[in-house]
Chain A
């Protein structure tokens, strides 16, 4: 019990500490793949420090919602990220919030951020919010369909249980799982504003969605939002890691060595996933906005197909 709480606390702190590093690593890999030197991998930490030291400028007609939103967005994202097993399963909080809750918590964050984008009443904020919600209207159901597949497979919607099930002897290769993986990868690209959907590095007005939504933010507010965005990326990568490459994850009741292995494995998984993410990003061009619904629609259909196949194939008492 005590250990479970400790693990939970450690993971909650770990995701927060690692999130900017992950962003730094992806940027570094990307720069190297483009044959640039690139900034140091700790640059995101420096950026955050720089931002919180700066004066915050907000628009004259910004309301309390604009000022409160970053904190709530960050808080919900952090809580969601703390619910995903990173190096060890058997999280204490897993028993109180399952995978559907994680998806919905990210939904709450998105909802408030989209509102914040509309608050000042600029055209860019509006374009960002509007498109973000359009993407979400397909990405969220696609994500839920993958969640359904995983839950039906493992007989539980709790992420710790799913992860433990995947490590166990009953898990095996399945077409449904593959479909869920593809859907989940597509959703992660869309939800994290990665390249075929959005470009995290651009500030070119017409190509940006997420960046347009937060255009009016500056200083400490922006720092909090940036941190939330990198937490979200970490969350998705951890999710894929703990479900589809569960090996090495510490199970509840393992010894101290297992925790060390779990940590090492987690770092390796994140690095590998970040590499593949960036490799995919550099290999593909950004889509037009109205191509994105087709892209995300594919995810939705794959997720649905995976779920239907499980519904049809499972005969369980």
Chain B
């Protein structure tokens, strides 16, 4: 597209990376002035658009393999190789498109940062880290990029360090990120084997037998914790909302995709041919993740945390696709594997669009009202019509409703589920329908969740003073949100373009690709066979438009035009107080009763005053974060207890220390002696 020769795309991408790093350094000086911050964000936007273009040209290049370039920098043990292959190019397009638009939003939104110096320099560094992960063609650069990404985003999470909640979030994030990186380090170490060929090319050639399964587990832990797979998701709803909203958009919408990339790279590309049972843990974890993620989101009243929890659900959906692809690939059903993989990566793309959009919308709301709690918002559709429209588009898209893009990837996942009776093994055959039901259930719950999110924030009557005086957000933010909303719709009505663009990726990873969708008449998509299933997003969209327009015309032509505004009817008992409206808590109450009594051990307590007393009645709901209590609290307690014990070591006399050192030495010598 932009470039004739794909060989130079690696050079261009590497120089883009260098420019981003330079921009981070420049940010230290620029952040002191408001204009400087804007300049940095604008430069990020341009650089990311450029990187997206370069990656797209690399993805669509006819050559299957692109030569990486070697950078003379790096560690003595290995060479630093940077470059694109179809997998990293596809992810680079996805990530840089969303990042470019989020940076455009940040031009307007970033001006509200209280301490820009804590945000502006780290923002390009964060983007550079993510791009380095994608560009890396050897394990060292990959891990350096991964850590860079983690640390830069950690710095952004802790940028509003005033509140104890944010500091705690940052701590939890740091611990989880460290643990995740450690497992990835182990995974690469195992893959490289004793010879230590750390370039991906060398790893692919040397596939050591028996390592694959361990790598799968390590990748599930390492990449999964970054992506937010249950039960390693705990940091995500803490850290994502703590950052400024444009960074939240990047962390939730984009960084989780880098984690998915890490998983795909390790398991599909490097770990060698999969066994069928690999799909079982992936599918089980993914199903649980999807369902629990959306249930957590439904129970949440903080808009940004709701969105963060919902990311967990979407990661589950993505991993369902990946798990199916593993099962198919292991059994040699290559086209089906390509279908499942396409569905997963399409959802990666979709989620990067709508989750960024929704976080940007929540940032606009936060900025206009100072509120993240939906119980205090309401009626913003009147005050912020453009934000409301864009947010609504995001809500419909994320709820997997046609004609938007979320539906297409979910539809493809369903189609992949429907070809899985071809699997010869019994375990996946019994498992896959249950996963399908879980997926369907979480899609329906997602719709409920986003009726709540949109309804409580933008509809109804304002529940606090700030919401009555809110003002529409700035030009840059509005344009960015509308762009993403338009992209969500476009990807929904022209899904064939996305599917075709992913062909090199599926060809590289599973050795097959779907039939070219561009050849289909009328812009429809056909995953496998037109007699089996087809979907035409454009036609459905046009039909809805025609039907709505025809109805509106008929009504205009034949119906009475009289329209009167009057107080709400409400069965004859309207109440002026906004407190009589349904709240986020009451909206979720039926679902909490149905699903929450098991998952969250939800209990409702009503304390009625005795007759004659004038005290207020009280209603209290107890919710338990079962996973946190069952998995994390024991660990935290254990660490604290150990730390307390070890604390005593700091108050010993010099003689005791000397004897301890001596004892340790003797012990080590004995161990070494026994080893030999």
Interface flag for B280 (CB, 8 Å): no
Interface flag for A178 (CB, 8 Å): no
Q: Which residues of A contact B396 (CB under 8 A)?
A: 108, 111
Q: Which of B37-56 contact A (CB under 8 A)?
A: none
Interface flag for B168 (CB, 8 Å): no
Interface flag for B531 (CB, 8 Å): yes
Cα(A138)–Cα(B590), bound, Å: 12
Query: CB-CB contacts of A61-78 with B at 8 A, as 1s and 0s?
Result: 111110000011011101
Do A59 and B569 have beta carbons less than 8 Å apart? Answer: yes
Do B560 and A293 have beta carbons less than 8 Å apart? Answer: no
Interface flag for B581 (CB, 8 Å): yes
Q: Which residues of B contact A19 (CB under 8 A)?
A: none
Do A136 and B533 have beta carbons less than 8 Å apart? Answer: no
- How many of B's residues come within 8 Å of A, CB to CB? 91
Interface flag for A4 (CB, 8 Å): no
Do B455 and A79 have beta carbons less than 8 Å apart? Answer: no
User: How near does chain B come to A58, taking the closest CB pair, in angstroms?
Assistant: 6
Interface flag for B447 (CB, 8 Å): yes
Set B378, B426, B451, B582: member contacting A127, Cβ < 8 A: B582
Do B571 and A107 have beta carbons less than 8 Å apart? Answer: no
Set B450, B533, B562, B578: member contacting A98, Cβ < 8 A: B533
| Most A CB within 10 A of own CB, among B422, B535, B575 | B535
Set B379, B432, B447, B562: member contacting A110, Cβ < 8 A: B447
Set A54, A97, A126, A205: member contacting B560, Cβ < 8 A: A54
Q: Which residues of B contact A130 (CB under 8 A)?
A: 582, 586-590
Cα(A215)–Cα(B574), bound, Å: 12
Set A71, A118, A120, A304: member contacting B433, Cβ < 8 A: A304
Of B71-79, B397-405, B604-612, which binds chain A? B397-405
Of B239-247, B315-323, B547-555, which binds chain A? B547-555
Do B378 and A57 have beta carbons less than 8 Å apart? Answer: no
Set A59, A100, A133: member contacting B411, Cβ < 8 A: A100
Interface flag for A230 (CB, 8 Å): no
Query: CB-CB contacts of B418-437 with A at 8 A, as 1s and 0s?
Result: 10111000100110111011
User: How near does chain B come to A153, taking the closest CB pair, in angstroms?
Assistant: 11
Cα(A294)–Cα(B407), bound, Å: 28
Interface flag for A260 (CB, 8 Å): no
Of B143-151, B170-178, B538-546, which binds chain A? B538-546
Query: CB-CB contacts of A26-49 with B at 8 A, as 1s and 0s?
Result: 000000000000000000000000
Which secondary structure dominates chain B's binding surface? Answer: helix
Interface flag for A282 (CB, 8 Å): no
Interface flag for A266 (CB, 8 Å): no
Do B381 and A63 have beta carbons less than 8 Å apart? Answer: yes
Do B378 and A121 have beta carbons less than 8 Å apart? Answer: yes
Cα(A120)–Cα(B379), bound, Å: 9
Cα(A57)–Cα(B455), bound, Å: 22
Q: Which of A116-163 contact B (CB under 8 A)?
A: 118-127, 129-131, 133-134, 136-141, 144-145, 148, 151-152, 155-158, 161
Among all A-B residue pairs, the 5 with the closest Cβ atoms: A126-B582, A121-B460, A96-B536, A141-B440, A118-B455
* B interface residues (Cβ-Cβ under 8 A, vs A): 378-379, 381-382, 385, 388, 392, 396, 399-402, 407, 411, 414-415, 417-418, 420-422, 426, 429-430, 432-434, 436-437, 440-441, 443-445, 447-448, 450-452, 454-456, 459-461, 522, 524, 530-536, 539-540, 543-545, 547-548, 551-552, 555, 558-560, 562-571, 574-575, 578, 580-582, 586-591, 593-594
